[in-house]
Structures are given as C-alpha cells and as structure tokens.
Amino acid sequence: MSLSSSLLENAVDQLASLPGIGRRTAMRLALDLLRREPHEVSRFSEAIKRMREEVRYCEVCCNISDEPKCAICRDPNRDAGLICVVEDIRDVIAIENTRQFRGVYHVLGGVINPMDGIGPDDLHTNELQERVRQGGVREVVLALGGTLEGDTTGFYLNRRLAEAGVMVTTIARGISVGADLDQADELTLGRSIADRKPYEQSVKR
Amino acid sequence: MSLSSSLLENAVDQLASLPGIGRRTAMRLALDLLRREPHEVSRFSEAIKRMREEVRYCEVCCNISDEPKCAICRDPNRDAGLICVVEDIRDVIAIENTRQFRGVYHVLGGVINPMDGIGPDDLHTNELQERVRQGGVREVVLALGGTLEGDTTGFYLNRRLAEAGVMVTTIARGISVGADLDQADELTLGRSIADRKPYEQSVKR
C-alpha cells in the first residue's frame, strides 16, 4: 500500500507500530484523526507525549503514579508485610477490583522473556529484593500470568526470594468460578484436581 | 477504572477516543508506548500532529496529497473524462490495486449521514459539480459503499449531476467472484439476478 502523501504514510506507519494494530486499522484511525479539528488532534498527540516524558513511578512499588509514593503504598490501612507481585498496572487494577486483597503491590513492569531480550535486570526485580531485605515483609504472593514467561519469572523470583527467608506463595490456578468442567483445558483441570482442598475451606468466604 | 496517574488516564482517554478502540485496548497501547524510548514516542506523537496540521488535498480530486495536484490527476495517461466518485482515500487504494480503472477520482471525504449531522455541504460535492460543469467529463462512476448512507449519497449525486447532462453510472452489485450462492444474502442475490447480463459479455476479460 503506497499512499499519495508522505505525511499520511508516516502517521499510518506510527499507528501501525502499536500492538494489535495492522495497517488497515491504522489507516482507519489516521482518517478519523484527519476529520477532527486541529486543536483536538494536538491535544491527542500532546497527551501521549506528556505521558511518556513526565510519567513517574512509585518509589516503593514501581507502579505508575503522579506522586513519589502511590496511593496504595501511602494508605496506612494496607498491610505492608504482604506484597503481591504483578506484571503491570492492569493487574493492579484487576486485583483491586476484586476487593479481596489488603496488602500492597510490586509492579515488575513485564515478565522475563528471552525471545524479546527481556531479562531480570530489565524488570524491577532488584527493587523487590531490596524491599524484602529491608525487613517487615512476611509473604510475597506471585500473581503472574499462566504463560511460559510468567512461570519462568515466578521460578526465578522464588529462587531469589527464598534466600531472603520470606514466604513465597502463588495465586491458585483452577477452574473458573461458574465454568463447566468439559470446557476447561486439560492442564487447568489436571492442576485443579492435584491442588484440591478441603471442602470446608473452599466454601467459607 | 480509575488510574493512579492522571497523565496515564489522559493518554488512555485520548487513545480510547479512536474508533474501535475500547478502554482496555487503549490501556494496552498506552503501556506499550510507556515501554518505548522517549524519542520514539515523541516521533509517534509528532507524526500524528504534523499529519493533521500540514496535510493538503489535491485541488482537482480532493484526495490527500503532498503536492497541489495528486499523482493520479497529474498523470497524462489517465482518462480525465471518466471520474470515479469514492468516499475516501482507502477506496482509491482499493480500486487502484485492481488495475481495472484508467480514469481519475473524486474523493468526497465521507458520505451523507444525517444521524451524524453530515450533509452534502460537508462533503466535496460542490467541487464535483464544478468539475463536471467545466466540461470534458463524459461519465461519472459512483463507487460508494452499499450502505443506506452510500445509497443516499448516490441518489443525491445522481440528481445533481443529471442536470449537468453527464452520464452517471454505478459499480455492479452482485455475488462475489468465487463465492457460493447459498452463502450470499437475499438482497445481493436478488440484485444479481435482476442485473443479469449476456453470457458473452461476462466472460470476456
């Protein structure tokens, strides 16, 4: 697809560089932006540029934050001895929405992915170890995605944190609440049987 | 979803204003941009801003172009007496890819859509009538989408151009080449029967 305008071509190329956006979709987005008022598009591009340039990270948990310490880390009602390790801010939002967790977080900023050249030092793993080393942490819950990369990252962190003598746990894997057994994949169903627990424990809420 | 950073919130809001991008996807795009180098993101936002501010339109066919006259309108081998009317630049690209059309284009910049408040004067319809009025145009092919809005626009243009005494045609609607009849919708199949043509004509290529 060669376009009649290098300005348009350039914008389409940039939009198509976003994950999950192909050139056809990028073209649709570019034409939508072209139909808007110039000041609207200026506000659009400015918001993205400012986010990248001025964004700050919580000095405790590495979550995205406008303040030096994020609202969760500042909250005296949260249990600072219980740290939930997640990949990014989306996981923090998802867990907060469950209202089941009263501890604090540690945001890695990704998972170990050798294929993309992302190793432990590209993530906030050293900051996590430092938090644990400073003491006061009873338990670290690994809440990472059930992918190969998530498992690798969990394996690595468990080994590093075990040295520090802290308890490392991981979120339960199993059949979704409300789901049919015959729809589940074999791995998940197998794991849910291996990890079965006393009935009394599972019904108390 | 309330975020811990107003900078991030702002960027997500802007990305979610794009057509077909929900807040979840916008969040994914924002996090991807956050992982890039600042100069890359600056190039991204600059490309979009520049496109909107500096884009020009061909003074003949209203297509997006870096020059006052687009490459197709400048080409002496194209038949300037045959104008194909399309909605936007994507349709120009699609028709050019068929290599079946040697005329020139007229880009409306949209279709009549009363629900969105888009009337004939918001499109390049006056420029089209002016081109026809200046003479030298034998035929205007309406190549608009088969939607209610496309049909309305075609109806309107046909009435306006008929006054100028030019021949107005429309692209053929029918069963896709290679498609099964029982997969086609009734409207299309009905139209393909009503618009049947002599076998000899349809096989010569």
Would you tell me which residues 66-105 of chain A have a C-beta closer than 8 angstroms to some C-beta of chain B?
66, 70-72, 88-90, 92-93
Asked if residue A122 belongs to a domain, the reply is yes
CB contact under 8 A, A42 and B52: yes
pLDDT in tens, A128-161: 999 999 989 999 999 998 889 999 999 999 999 9
Q: Say yes or no: A37 and A111 in one domain.
A: no
Flag whether B72 is in a domain: no
What pLDDT, on the 0 to 100 scale, is given for residue B204?
58
Reported as a pLDDT band with limits 50, 70 and 90, residue A194 is: confident
Let me know if residue A37 belongs to a domain. Answer: yes
What's A21's domain CATH number?
1.10.8.420
Whether residues A48 and B56 touch (CB distance < 8 A) is answered with no
B88 and B35 within one domain? no
Give the domain CATH number at B145.
3.40.1360.10
pLDDT single digits (tens) B29-67: 999 999 899 999 999 999 999 999 999 999 999 999 888
A49 and A86 both lie in a single domain? no
Task: Look up the domain containing B103 and give its range.
Answer: 77-203
Prediction pTM value: 0.79
B49 touches chain A (CB under 8 A): yes
pLDDT at A203: 64
| Shared domain check, B89 and B12 | no
For residue B67, tell me if it sits in a domain: no
Mutate to test the interface with B, among A7, A53, A96 (most CBs of B within 10 A): A7
d(CA B154, CA B125): 11
Q: Does A172 share its domain with A137?
A: yes
B1 part of a folded domain? no
At B91, list the tokens: 């349709």
Residues of chain B with pLDDT under 70: 1-2, 202-205
- In chain B, how many domains are there? 2
Rounded to a whole number of angstroms, the distance from the CA of A96 to the nearest CA of chain B is 10
Task: Indicate whether B97 and B193 sit together in one domain.
Answer: yes
**What are the pLDDT digits (tens) for A37-92?**
999 999 999 999 999 999 999 999 999 988 899 999 999 999 999 999 999 999 99
Percent above pLDDT 70 for chain B: 97
Whether B65 maps to a domain, the answer reads no
Q: Given the DSSP bridges, would you call strands A64-65 and A56-57 parallel, antiparallel or unpaired?
A: antiparallel
